[in-house]
Amino acid sequence: MSSIPAQTAPSPAADDDRRALRARLLAQRAALPARAEADTRIAAALSELLAGLAVRCLGFYWPIQQEFDARAAVAQWLAAVPGRHAALPSVSRPGAPLDFHLWTPDAPMATGHYGIPVPDGTEAATPDALLIPCVGFSPDKFRLGYGGGFYDRTLAAMAQRPVAIGIGYDACRIALQAQPHDIAMDWIVTESGAF
């Protein structure tokens, strides 16, 4: 099993810069105008992208802090072709890769770490594609998350790397200096489409 490569710790100033950037982007996302229209366009772009990928198990996220809510798009994707599966992540412990468990719209849910709902008692799954929320993202497809490193750690640890699809809003496209442990997304989906 691989892990995030060892690295020199970023300077406190770099950490402070990322914290300030994250706070600014979260406030920006919370204040987005025409949010419903943007979400409709993200859902359409995501559906079009997924239709062109040979994905059998799609990992996604439970929306928090004004993230795009992918549940309806994932439910439609599941219903379109028999044999597809979806999975939600759960945190087994801080510093560990995410675990994924099967999800359907009627799956029983429990409260996981950080108060985020997780499937309750469903089978473990290994997604071949992941929808990953972006607080911010760069033109070269690096993402800024919440700072826990869960998705970078998970992508680095998976034996078969899944297709990584970042989900964000155009207003959160930024210049971002990638850190050694950062893993670029394969795709970014916003209200302007998939790139």
141, amino acid identity = K
Q: How far apart are CA 7 and CA 23, in angstroms?
A: 25
Q: Is 124 among the annotated ligand-binding positions?
A: no
Q: Is 49 among the annotated ligand-binding positions?
A: no
Q: Is 22 among the annotated ligand-binding positions?
A: yes
The proportion of the chain whose per-residue pLDDT surpasses 70, expressed as a percent, equals 92
Mean pLDDT, range 87-98, rounded to an integer: 91
**What's the chain's average pLDDT?**
90
Q: Is 144 among the annotated ligand-binding positions?
A: yes
Q: Of 34-43, 51-60, 156-165, 174-183, which range is least confident?
A: 174-183
Cross-strand partners of 166:
132, 188
Q: Is 52 among the annotated ligand-binding positions?
A: no
Q: Show Cβ contacts of residue 26 under 8 Å, excluding neighbours closer than 6 positions.
A: 65, 66, 135
Q: How far apart are CA 74 and CA 78, in angstroms?
A: 6
Q: Is 112 among the annotated ligand-binding positions?
A: no
Please give the domain boundaries of the chain with CATH numbers for all domains: 35-194 (3.40.50.10420)
- pTM across the whole model: 0.90
Res. 68 pLDDT band, cuts 50 70 90: very high
pLDDT at position 193 over 60: yes
Res. 1 pLDDT band, cuts 50 70 90: very low
pLDDT on residue 180: 86
Q: How far apart are CA 23 and CA 126, in angstroms?
A: 32
pLDDT at position 112 over 50: yes
Q: Is 20 among the annotated ligand-binding positions?
A: yes
Q: Is 173 among the annotated ligand-binding positions?
A: no
pLDDT on residue 16: 66
Q: How far apart are CA 157 and CA 176, in angstroms?
A: 24
Q: Show Cβ contacts of residue 42 under 8 Å, excluding neighbours closer than 6 positions.
A: 68, 167, 169, 189, 190, 191
Q: Is 168 among the annotated ligand-binding positions?
A: no
pLDDT on residue 93: 83
